[in-house]
A = this chain, B = another copy of it.
């Protein structure tokens, strides 16, 4: 029998089937997916194949399993596999550099968008937060990424950031004034100055890319 067209790796078929199922049933984070036994039944594959797929997705942080309860879709924001990849094989030099550079580019893109589209209120609220709270650099840029209304770009930033965090990219001690002056330029819609402030004062770079 075995009518599956794709010639190899049942567990990959299962991953795909799960994807489709989630899509079709519009399952959201927190929702429960059928039990392993039922899936194995529904897809006509052995339970072990289903498990291989589920374990892989679990390691990716896309699902969560609780013994005795079931398997649930997870909030994708927090793929914790990142640490894994980090501890695993992220010691490559070139990758580190690319990572840092890409992160900078994305952040600049976000700044540009914010400078154009964010409301004055949003920016002022962020300024209040900067004054009030104690925060890390990536807390700040997470908020920037959220302010830009492009969810995809935000997600890309989150992913890259979580990778970058595992590496030893040490943030120099940046001061609140720098963030505030950056925000001030954003408020004035002065994209140019904002980016200059970002590069020079926050990322300690010269004015090239």
Contact = CB atoms under 8 A, between A and B. Distances in A.
Nearest to A23: B91
Copies of the polypeptide in the assembly: 2
Interface stretch (A77-85, A124-132, A197-205): A77-85
A59 B15 contact: yes
A19 B99 CA distance: 20
15 contacts: A15-B59, A15-B84, A19-B88, A51-B52, A76-B89, A76-B90, A76-B95, A81-B82, A81-B85, A81-B159, A85-B155, A95-B152, A98-B151, A99-B152, A116-B208
Contacts of A82: 81, 156, 159
Interface string A1-32: 00000001001100100010011000000000
Given A56-B60, A62-B88, A79-B81, 14 more contacts: A11-B55, A12-B59, A15-B84, A19-B88, A23-B91, A48-B48, A60-B81, A62-B85, A76-B88, A81-B85, A98-B152, A101-B152, A112-B209, A113-B209
